[in-house]
A and B are shown apart, each in its own frame.
Chain A
């Protein structure tokens, strides 16, 4: 199910939160509404952790993670690192990496199996991503943009990309990611998809400006209507013969 919400009058919820299948990071905000919305949906399934990164509230754009791990930029303080290590489940490896491009959420986007990265990332960073997050790394562009993390959002079940992506681009990405993709917008026509929404395998959160049409596209491409947080789906995936078109 997709939920519409705001962070302090701002519809860019993907900038202030990071949602994965194993945990959720939320920025520290003026009012508790934002945090409560996440807690209400997720509290009994995965931990919802309030944090900042390097003192910044745009946690969604600064870090990248999936159920296996979480990567933080070099601007993250020791205290924040320790707080995250303590709050997240033990199987999630929290790692701080030295990378010149420190807005990791803008440069890297991933689900539990594949990651797309900015073409200018260091070799060591790409190895670290493959190691910590347990994914296959592909250096790609989306609609001619290098900052793939901003213009592409995908989970294990589907993905949404920049509205101006060509059909060939969509096909290429879909082959790499092995999930169905759709080119669309969020927050009433905003092209910066990843900033406007955040998603995992069973739920999504979008900015409150998102129209009903955009929301129905999101619910159908990410298959949220019938989704439930059952671990069996993830386990079965390894033994499933490829069924995606």
Chain B
């Protein structure tokens, strides 16, 4: 099992929930993962509302965070026990479309050779903080959830005919060399983990091309393109969909920072949510990601 240990420290006593500071009182591992998934989102999505919180509760929060929080994140191969945590992270993968999410999660967890799950070292709860994997379209084309996924993507791309055609080409004719890059994490996860996370994924893909037992499986990891679904905020002319303290020059806000780099390297114009990236650009992506993270 290839796992790496990554220590992360908060350099300034910011109000970042990096560690196990306040576990919600829940009984089951699943409920705790669910509550944890909600906690960081609440802080990252509505910082304006935090101003309305009365002063005393604000400061009492700060008092408990009086310094550095130590958290040891570890990378693991996906295991069947991770089902509930992974399902929570992927809940909004296809927006609110009803689809067979459970079997999609099962597919991800079955593919132990390529795919990484981030958990806290020694945590008996086994709550999942992040998930990355790459799934070959051709290998899983028989599964109903992939069928629904393809339909969803093509439907979203329908506005632009040229893009829709190229997407259909990728998803059907060229599906043998196209992979779905799934990367979901809790929004407040320390960004220092990201270069290692993506390094782990791309290394595993290249190892799989050599290590897989059968010829067919080896070939299934020789990707030429990755499809990525990402969530973004697009500025409408009058309306702003994000907090006003952001610089107003940005036309698009990416929920996950690395998607911006993918966007620059993309093969063709994204349909707002879907991007296809050529594999050769991955090396550039890794460099830029490293520089982006060290700047922030």
- List the A side residues contacting B91 at CB < 8 Å: 9-10
A188 to chain B: closest residue by CB: B83
Across the interface, A9 reaches (CB within 8 A) one of B28, B31, B101, namely: B101
* Complex Cα spacing A9 to B93, Å: 11
Q: Are B28 and A30 in contact (CB under 8 A)?
A: no
* Complex Cα spacing A65 to B99, Å: 32
A8/B27 contact (C-beta < 8 A), A188-B84, A190-B84 known = no
- List the B side residues contacting A190 at CB < 8 Å: 28, 30-31, 84
* Complex Cα spacing A10 to B92, Å: 11
Q: Are A145 and B98 in contact (CB under 8 A)?
A: no
* Complex Cα spacing A189 to B29, Å: 10
Q: Are B31 and A209 in contact (CB under 8 A)?
A: no
Interface size for A (C-beta < 8 A) is: 18
Across the interface, A209 reaches (CB within 8 A) one of B27, B96, B98, B102, namely: B102
Shortest beta-carbon distance, B243 to chain A, in Å? 26
The reply to whether the CB of A228 lies closer than 8 angstroms to some CB of chain B is no
**Which A residues, 22 to 56, have Cβ-Cβ distances below 8 Å to chain B?**
30-31, 33
Interface size for B (C-beta < 8 A) is: 12
A145/B27 contact (C-beta < 8 A), A6-B98, A9-B99, A31-B98 known = yes
* Complex Cα spacing A30 to B96, Å: 9
- List the B side residues contacting A188 at CB < 8 Å: 83-84
* Complex Cα spacing A208 to B99, Å: 12
Q: Are A191 and B98 in contact (CB under 8 A)?
A: no
The reply to whether the CB of A192 lies closer than 8 angstroms to some CB of chain B is yes
- List the A side residues contacting B102 at CB < 8 Å: 11, 208-209
Main secondary structure of the interface of A (DSSP, over half): loop
* Complex Cα spacing A85 to B190, Å: 52
- List the B side residues contacting A145 at CB < 8 Å: 27
CB-defined interface of B5-34 with A at 8 Å, one 1/0 digit per residue? 000000000000000000000011011000
- List the B side residues contacting A192 at CB < 8 Å: 27-28, 31
Q: Are A191 and B84 in contact (CB under 8 A)?
A: no
Q: Are A33 and B28 in contact (CB under 8 A)?
A: no
Across the interface, B98 reaches (CB within 8 A) one of A8, A11, A189, namely: A8
B81 to chain A: closest residue by CB: A189
B31 to chain A: closest residue by CB: A192
Shortest beta-carbon distance, B144 to chain A, in Å? 13
Shortest beta-carbon distance, A163 to chain B, in Å? 9
Q: Are B27 and A189 in contact (CB under 8 A)?
A: no
Q: Are B28 and A191 in contact (CB under 8 A)?
A: yes
- List the A side residues contacting B101 at CB < 8 Å: 9
Q: Are A33 and B84 in contact (CB under 8 A)?
A: no
- List the A side residues contacting B27 at CB < 8 Å: 145, 151, 162, 191-192
* Complex Cα spacing A209 to B30, Å: 13
A150 to chain B: closest residue by CB: B27
B93 to chain A: closest residue by CB: A9
Q: Are B84 and A8 in contact (CB under 8 A)?
A: no
Shortest beta-carbon distance, A2 to chain B, in Å? 17
**Which B residues, 36 to 84, have Cβ-Cβ distances below 8 Å to chain A?**
83-84
CB-defined interface of B168-180 with A at 8 Å, one 1/0 digit per residue? 0000000000000
Shortest beta-carbon distance, A96 to chain B, in Å? 28
* Complex Cα spacing A191 to B31, Å: 9
Q: Are B84 and A189 in contact (CB under 8 A)?
A: yes
* Complex Cα spacing A8 to B92, Å: 11
**Which A residues, 189 to 228, have Cβ-Cβ distances below 8 Å to chain B?**
189-192, 208-209
Q: Are B83 and A33 in contact (CB under 8 A)?
A: no
Shortest beta-carbon distance, B152 to chain A, in Å? 13
CB-defined interface of B187-209 with A at 8 Å, one 1/0 digit per residue? 00000000000000000000000
B30 to chain A: closest residue by CB: A190
Q: Are A189 and B30 in contact (CB under 8 A)?
A: yes
Shortest beta-carbon distance, B259 to chain A, in Å? 23
* Complex Cα spacing A11 to B28, Å: 15
User: Closest 7 interchain pairs by CB?
Assistant: A191-B28, A209-B102, A190-B30, A9-B98, A9-B101, A191-B27, A31-B98
Q: 24 interchain pairs (CB within 8 A)?
A: A6-B98, A8-B96, A8-B98, A9-B91, A9-B96, A9-B98, A9-B101, A10-B91, A30-B96, A31-B98, A33-B98, A145-B27, A151-B27, A162-B27, A188-B83, A188-B84, A189-B30, A190-B28, A191-B28, A191-B30, A191-B31, A192-B27, A192-B28, A192-B31
Instruction: Using CB atoms and an 8 Å cutoff, list the residues of chain A in contact with chain B.
Output: 6, 8-11, 30-31, 33, 145, 151, 162, 188-192, 208-209
A190-B28, A190-B30 are known contacts; what are 17 more A-B pairs with Cβ within 8 Å?
Answer: A8-B96, A9-B91, A9-B101, A10-B91, A11-B102, A31-B98, A33-B98, A145-B27, A151-B27, A188-B84, A189-B84, A190-B31, A191-B30, A191-B31, A192-B28, A208-B102, A209-B102
